[in-house]
Structure 1
Amino acid sequence: MTYQGVLRKMTTELSDPIQYYLLFETDFIHMNQLLEKTINIKFVGYECLNCGLNKTIFRQGFCKSCFFDIPQAADWIMKPELSTAHLDKEDRDLEYEKRVQLQPHIVYLANSSNVKVGVTRKSQVPTRWIDQGAHEAIEIVEVPNRYLAGITEVALKEHVADKTNWRTMLKNDIADEDLVTWREKLKQYIPDEAKEYYIASNSETNIHFPVLHYPTKPKSLNLDKTPNYTGKLVGIKGQYLIFEDDTVFNVRSNEGYVVAISIA
């Protein structure tokens, strides 16, 4: 059976283990059901997630012209501290920026390759943690806008990591951490503007991924260099498909690529 469509990050469902779904325009694949099956991924073309044209993807699933124009790819997406909607100040599209920035945001600690701090909209919990391949996570503050979350993250990353080592995450070469203790330790570094939003009462969330075998030396599949790949699926973690030969495929970093997926 063959499915064809434009890649977007997999949809997830919090259960034990996480359930993964790859959604195409007219179909979907329940990826957990493909474990231990041989699948072929074939590159077909590009489809910008904004304009829909067959143009080379630049970043985040967008072609170059869209990336530098649309509000969904503005700098404040990756750097929340640059948010200005709370000041009624436009970056690219104030209506969009108010809709996204002026809603509850969570600053959290997650353990994927190490303990790291991050920011997400409250509506994206626990999706954000799953996408990062975190096996445990906890909230630190819940603030009313993206700017406050951003400045809190900037302050905390002086004392804890803000990046995930994807190879360590995929190899599962990680230790359990006491995130409640980490949260208590970092509380003192929360900026004054955000101190009132500190969360002291919740416990950590534990996440289990559908992985049969972890790779020992993960190597990333690049569709531009290898437009046709066949392998046996042995795991899914974060937004990565893990294959028996240690090849890993990051679905999210290939958003906007049109592929044909065949199942043996």
Structure 2
Amino acid sequence: MVNLGDTRSHVELATTPTHTPTAAQLAAVESEINRLIREALPVRTVAVSATDASERPDSLPADYVGTHSVVRTVHIADVDANPCCGTHVTNLAHLQAVKLLHTDRIRGNNTRLFFLVGGRVLGALGSAYAVSRDLTAVLSGGQETFVETAGRLVKESKGQAKVIKTLLKEIAGYVAVELAARVEASGHAEHHREDGDMDYLLVLAGLLKEKGVLVGARVVMLSAGEKAGGGPMMVLGVDEERVNEVVKGITGELDGVKGGGKGRWQGRVKTWKGLEKAWEVVGKVGSQ
């Protein structure tokens, strides 16, 4: 089965787990296809009788009788012959070029082979070259170094993320001490960190639980993320009615509040506009 697609085409191949096209085989097929295109092999159509067994192509279903008992067969020189009712070029040179791309496994054992033909090959080359030029400037090196440079940057990014996570855990320890003191004094506390994330809030919530300050009607609101971009939020407390009251109140002050949970409500907010008003809600409920 062939699908021409909007930007690239694919053909579905009947394969098995142990017999799928290798890179070498695909390269050989692509080379041979383009050789035949350069030779401009002629393409012609032949009408054959659907009732004459000697004339019927092997690929034609046994129960197919055709229109007026005639089957139209498309011949590519002496390379291939298949029944088809579609529109075809008069010779292979009109295809210009074929580029085989990649394969995907589908429907169990079948393989889908993606490819480009004609002007799409040049279009894809132009797009790839433009991206390559942009990446050359961004990565300070030619395309032959892209994979190595990207791999190094990903490794460095992971290392930096690990360091940041460790530092945030240390910061959370100091913040937890301050919040615990505020909760002990007033029955509530609020904390927001723009460069924090949900992991940071979870560490902070765990430290507050260890300190045993979340008792009775006490409530704590924790949040993180840039003011304009929103981010994660948690409301802590053992009194579910108080927690729900806080959530209901801050939902009216913050945009796009979504989340849930018992004892420890957690979710996200679209923007932190109105955060100070939300803190006032926490203070009002926590001071009752």
What is the TM-score normalised by the length of structure 2?
A: 0.19
What is the TM-score normalised by the length of structure 1?
A: 0.20
Greater fraction strand: 1
Greater fraction helix: 2
> Is the radius of gyration larger for structure 1 or structure 2?
2
